[in-house]
Chain A
Amino acid sequence: DAGITQSPRHKVTETGTPVTLRCHQTENHRYMYWYRQDPGHGLRLIHYSYGVKDTDKGEVSDGYSVSRSKTEDFLLTLESATSSQTSVYFCAISPGTGHTGELFFGEGSRLTVL
């Protein structure tokens, strides 16, 4: 158990509303990631963080922002949700000291935008 919890686990919202997903870890890992998973696309990186207040964009960052004000929390915000952002969102941590492909994932947050 990598000590990662995501909230909410399920959310239904309407187009144009803001949405924030939270990822909380208990083991002080430096690297945290947000991915989305859609049928036929696999996992795609949205944003990642390499420390408090240190974040960078991933492959599909448009329409998303992130914040990390504490080591343990990494927030993903959709400022104005669109139907194309309906997806399953996974938070992940890397236990190493740098980027690697070794990731541990949270349980996922299923977001539906109507």
Chain B
Amino acid sequence: QKEVEQNSGPLSVPEGAIASLNCTYSDRGSQSFFWYRQYSGKSPELIMFIYSNGDKEDGRFTAQLNKASQYVSLLIRDSQPSDSATYLCAAYSGSARQLTFGSGTQLTVLP
């Protein structure tokens, strides 16, 4: 069974701090990785994706991938109360043509 594991949280950080969200995956065949943000009662929205080892930055968001350790993370710099949401990690395997989601980490940014 292919799995994507996330700490469910809740994770609380003060406004302006760096929030670090982590994800591990079991399928070494996974090729690409996605972070979705889901506000309470809303649908998930894609915020970042990463394919290669290393870091990928987009504004206040940085995705990090370490395929050897099967580890993906999302850093949110200068966290804002509007970042309070559940963050879903997902891993895609092209060979299996399967996208597997983690159960999400709930983030609260305290004003």
Contact = CB atoms under 8 A, between A and B. Distances in A.
Contacts of B13: none
A99 B94 contact: yes
B97 interface: yes
B6 to A, nearest CB: 8
Interface in B65-111: 88, 90-92, 94, 97-99, 101-104
Contacts, number: 48
Nearest to B103: A42
B101 A42 contact: yes
Q: What's the dominant secondary structure at chain A's contact region? A: loop
Interface residues of A, number: 17
B88 A43 contact: yes
A89 B94 CA distance: 24
A36 B92 CA distance: 18
A100 B42 CA distance: 22
A102 B35 CA distance: 10
A101 B104 CA distance: 16
Q: Which of A40, A101, A103, A104 has the most CB of B within 10 A?
A: A101
Interface in A38-92: 40-45, 90
A106 B43 contact: yes
B44 A102 contact: no
Nearest to B34: A101
Contacts of B90: 43, 101
A102 B46 contact: yes
A71 to B, nearest CB: 20
Given A99-B94, A101-B34, A106-B43, A40 B103 contact: yes
A74 to B, nearest CB: 16
A104 B46 contact: yes
Contacts of B43: 90, 105-108
Contacts of B97: 99
Interface of B: 4, 8, 32-34, 42-46, 49, 88, 90-92, 94, 97-99, 101-104
Given A42-B101, A42-B102, 8 more contacts: A42-B103, A43-B88, A45-B99, A101-B91, A104-B46, A105-B43, A105-B45, A108-B43
